[in-house]
Amino acid sequence: MDTTLLDVRTGSREVVHDLTGACAEFVRGRGDGLLHVFVPHATAGVAVLELGAGSDDDLLAALGDLLPADDRWRHRHGSPGHGRAHVLPALVPPYATLPVLDGRLALGTWQSVALVDLNVDNPDRQVRLSFLRG
């Protein structure tokens, strides 16, 4: 298995960060197999969705409705509503496994791979990419 670790700066705001280019570069020339994308964080997830046509903002808005940034959360350290970021991985899992055919991601026409991060207290993230040959 081949693996690498990406450093991603998400800053101090909620973000849907496009990982598609980095994923495509990592699998280029590797033949057939599976790409596993994993975020080793308790407050972030990986989503496969359309990006750039408003879906990013729609996802953040939907998560805001489901997981409001208020004082209802029992996990209370950090900024107000920080506990909701710890619930995020139950809705947006911290991983995705994608098919790779002839060294290319086998995504649908409008699909992208994204890091979803609601934790405004941690501006630096890591993403592990692992390729398992078929």
Share the mean pLDDT of the chain.
95
What is the homologous superfamily of the domain 2-133 according to CATH? YjbQ-like (2.60.120.460)
pTM as predicted: 0.95
> Which residue in 48, 79, 55, 85 sits closest to 67, CA to CA?
85
pLDDT in tens, 60-74: 999 999 999 988 989
pLDDT attached to residue 33 = 98
Report residue 133's pLDDT band, with 50, 70 and 90 as the boundaries.
Answer: very high
pLDDT attached to residue 102 = 97
Backbone angles phi, psi at 17, to 5 degrees: -105, 125
Could you tell me which residues are beta bridge partners of residue 2? 131
pLDDT in tens, 74-104: 988 888 888 999 999 999 999 999 999 999 9
Q: Report helix, strand or coil for 58.
A: helix
| Domain boundaries along the sequence of the chain | 2-133
pLDDT attached to residue 81 = 80
pLDDT attached to residue 34 = 98
pLDDT attached to residue 130 = 98
